[in-house]
Amino acid sequence: MILQETYSLSNGVEIPKIGLGTWFSNGDEAINIVKKSVEAGYRHIDSAQAYQNEKEMGEAIKNSGVARDEIFITTKLAAEIKSYDEAVKSIDESLEKMGLEYIDLMIIHSPKPWQNFLEDERYFEGNLEAWKALEEAYEAGKLKAIGVSNFEIEDLKNIIDNCKIKPMVNQILAHISNTPFEVIEFCKENDIVVEAYSPIGHGALLDEEDLKEMAAKYNVSVAQLAIRYCLQLGLLPLPKTTNEDRMKSNAAVDFEISDEDMETLKNRDKIEDYGEASKFPVFAK
């Protein structure tokens, strides 16, 4: 069962091959989806300072009935934090909000502040300062692993060429019709696990007729096809749902997409319109 399988990060930490995304989940809903996901067998939960649900994530994990060391929790340093002092303070604030002795993985949410995401400035110095704070928290045992998100090759090189510890993870937008193969290959060459957020294209893939036809060949849903696609590329998908049945079906992906169909999916035309989600910078890029 895929929920019991893991990837090994470069430092030997095991990370479950599928995680549950929690973007837009707050308050009691956030607590409830963690409870449901753990009951469904998930052991990997993805949060962020920007999601404003860290307190609920920590509470839910402590009350899950599952041993702390069996649940892998990720949070993200806010994209706007580009100084060492701010990063140190923010890391400690996340630990305090979650009420946990350690966080399994903490990553820089974006190489650029969200309001500047589509601009050319790369914030190289600010990312090095934030990374230094993550390195120190990692060495102090506050974080079991550290990584980045939305980083392109030049952003990754900036960290790799100037820091002691390579990122262990790069979490990026990756799905059928939008798969950044060059970034993925660079990460693999540098022993960086690639996590795929929005593996179902923020829902944009679900009504595509050709994908429905292909999914029917395997007797699965389009969502299952999309998640399996990521797994066969060696990625770690982070599907997001609040529905318990969909949580279970999203993890029921123990089938194999043929080489021919994988080539078709890899070469599918890029999605140009994500609907309402297009207003978010990661989808507008």
Residues assigned a catalytic role: 51
**In angstroms, rounded to a whole number, what is the distance separating the alpha carbons of residues 110 and 50?**
11
Which is it for strands 14-16 and 6-8: parallel, antiparallel or unpaired? Answer: antiparallel
Burial 119-135 (b: 16+ CB within 10 A, else e): eeeebbebbbbbbbbbb
Q: Cβ contacts of residue 244 below 8 Å, gap of 6+? A: 36, 39, 40
User: If you search the block for the tokens 């009350």, which residue do you land on?
Assistant: 63
CA angle, corner 140, sides to 136 and 141, nearest 5? Answer: 120
CA angle, corner 161, sides to 157 and 164, nearest 5? Answer: 120
E strands in the chain: 6-8, 14-16, 20-21, 44-46, 72-77, 105-108, 146-149, 169-173, 193-197, 236-238
